Amino acid sequence: MFLVISYLENLIPHIGLMSIALIFMINAFYTRKFIALFTGVGLLFVAAYFTLFPLSEHSILHLSCDLILIALLTFPARQFTSRWAQILYLFISLVLFNTVHTTIKDWWHQKPNQIALDKDNELLVEFNNIFNLQEWIVQHGKEYDITYPVFTPQNLYTKLDEYIAINLKAGADIAASKSQLLAHRAIVHVEENEQLGIGLPQQIGSDQIQNSSNTVNDPQASKQWAVQKLQLDKLHDLVGDVMISNHDDQTIIAILDTGIDAQHEDLRDNYISLNKKYDHDPKGHGTHCAGIAGAVTGNNIGIASLLPPNSSIKITSVRALNAFGMGNQKLLVNAMIEAVDAGADVLSISIGGITNDERERAYTEAVAYAQAQNVIVVVSAGNSALDARNASPANIDGVITVAAVNQDMKRSYFSNDVNNLKMGIAAPGENIYSTIPKNKYDFKKGTSMAAPFVSGCIGLMKHYNKDITAEDAYRIIKQTGIPLENDICVDPYAAMNELMRYYPN
């Protein structure tokens, strides 16, 4: 029996500890020995510590279910007096515990796969061409609540202008509505307009380190552990002169988010406005991402970013989420189109939602639209501790998807796994200190924070070589990245060093 438990403990430490605790607790009822009870309770505390920290909704629910299950299995043990009955019940209890524990775990991990739909039950409908679309609207416009156009790209060499949106009535059968629409020969695809959000893990406290840097004079850079880990002072020394002298034109990193506080003391000199309505941020998420990618470095104010002092690389904002940090697929695709049409070179997207293979068409065409104009799209992996293949737009071909690592350079407990994606990379995503509205600064964590580190690096690469593609940029950051236990972390200094060596000016 103990060999079985030892195997379980090596395979899944949490289940192993809980199983051993259950053995001691049941034995305490059999033998009436307090030492067995104390040992079992002690093991429960150890398991609780490793389960609860870092604290999250998942960990609290997980541990609560385990403790209830152990209590239910332990107390009936006192009813058995026969030696063989006790052994049999102990064995049955272990089997039941591990079976129910695994079932609960699987249920929890499947729960995020329930896709949240737009509140209006909106469908995105794609036609085979714009002429059939317009003819269909004339014939069926009175049957449906239609929005057209949905997407308005300037470049017409895309299928994004062949979409309409249909708002279904409350209580409508979505599956039946989709089937009815797809019966029309002119309609090639129908998908729900899924809800999107930020979904950051809870930030509790921070583990600060004191950084020493020869070139970064920003007073709060000491709170940025990534400054040291990513060698930002060496990066600034490497690219500073090149970024200033060799390029008079600007490179633009567009933050597609909740907006940006354009008047922030540590952002305004690196910020350009596309639309005044995007230049404030009621939520703070977009401003935090903006500081990571493009805070003004070397100005004796606030924090440092990947961008060197006096850089011609600028950040801008296109709002894709509302004041509550919520949005939908239609809003995000429109934000991508708007940023590309405005001349952005890099799109930084720290937004996403659970998806499936049937729900990726509009995203795929939006990314293709960006790629056709040589715009690189960087997306956060998501915070569900799942495979990033189940999240969009993180799983779309052509995007660079970013997982999060902590200060110990290990994958963050909440981060989705990007190893099964074509272009997955990792970056710092825990205890990240950055800008928030009203000239303030704060710590946040999430893959939302990891993506702007890569966006800033890609911005540097695009500024040095305007023609670099997403595939070439990814190849360089992966080859030069920092090898970790489960991931490869971006190393901007090494990536720029390799790019400048490969494409000397």
- Using left for φ > 0, alpha for ψ between -120 and 50, and beta otherwise, residue 436 falls in beta
Confidence of residue 39 (pLDDT cuts 50, 70, 90): confident
Out of 169-173, 365-369, 411-415, least confident range: 169-173
The set of residues, in sequence order, having a beta carbon less than 8 Å from that of 231 and lying 6+ positions away, is 491, 492, 493
**E strand or H helix at 147:** strand 145-147
- The C-alpha atoms of residue 355 and residue 311 are separated, in whole angstroms, by 38
Residue, of 112 and 96, whose pLDDT is higher? 96
Give residue 12's pLDDT.
43
The answer to whether residue 417 is catalytic is no
The answer to whether residue 317 is catalytic is no
* Residue 503 β-bridge partners: none
Confidence of residue 357 (pLDDT cuts 50, 70, 90): low
Give residue 209's pLDDT.
52
Residue 422 has pLDDT above 90, yes or no: yes
Q: How crowded is the C-beta side of 148, counted as CA atoms within 13 Å?
A: 19
Out of 48-62, 224-238, 265-279, least confident range: 48-62
pLDDT in tens, 6-15: 333 334 455 6
* Residue 388 β-bridge partners: none
Give residue 243's pLDDT.
66
Give residue 108's pLDDT.
47
Determine which one of 189, 280, 285, 463 is catalytic: 285
Determine which one of 257, 261, 266, 491 is catalytic: 257
Confidence of residue 2 (pLDDT cuts 50, 70, 90): very low
Out of 70-74, 105-109, 171-175, 308-312, least confident range: 105-109
pLDDT in tens, 360-386: 899 999 999 999 999 999 999 999 999
Determine which one of 448, 455, 463, 491 is catalytic: 448
Confidence of residue 111 (pLDDT cuts 50, 70, 90): very low
Q: How crowded is the C-beta side of 407, counted as CA atoms within 13 Å?
A: 16
Give residue 40's pLDDT.
64
pLDDT in tens, 18-30: 667 667 667 666 6
Confidence of residue 1 (pLDDT cuts 50, 70, 90): very low
pTM of the full predicted structure? 0.76
User: Do residues 54 and 204 make contact, with C-beta atoms less than 8 angstroms apart?
Assistant: yes
Give residue 171's pLDDT.
82
Out of 240-254, 316-330, 461-475, least confident range: 240-254
Closest C-alpha to 270, from 244, 301, 297: 297
Residue 296 has pLDDT above 90, yes or no: yes
Out of 9-18, 144-153, 259-268, least confident range: 9-18
What is the chain's mean pLDDT, rounded? Answer: 85
The answer to whether residue 218 is catalytic is no
End-to-end CA distance of the chain: 68
Out of 171-180, 182-191, 251-260, 280-289, least confident range: 171-180
Confidence of residue 197 (pLDDT cuts 50, 70, 90): confident
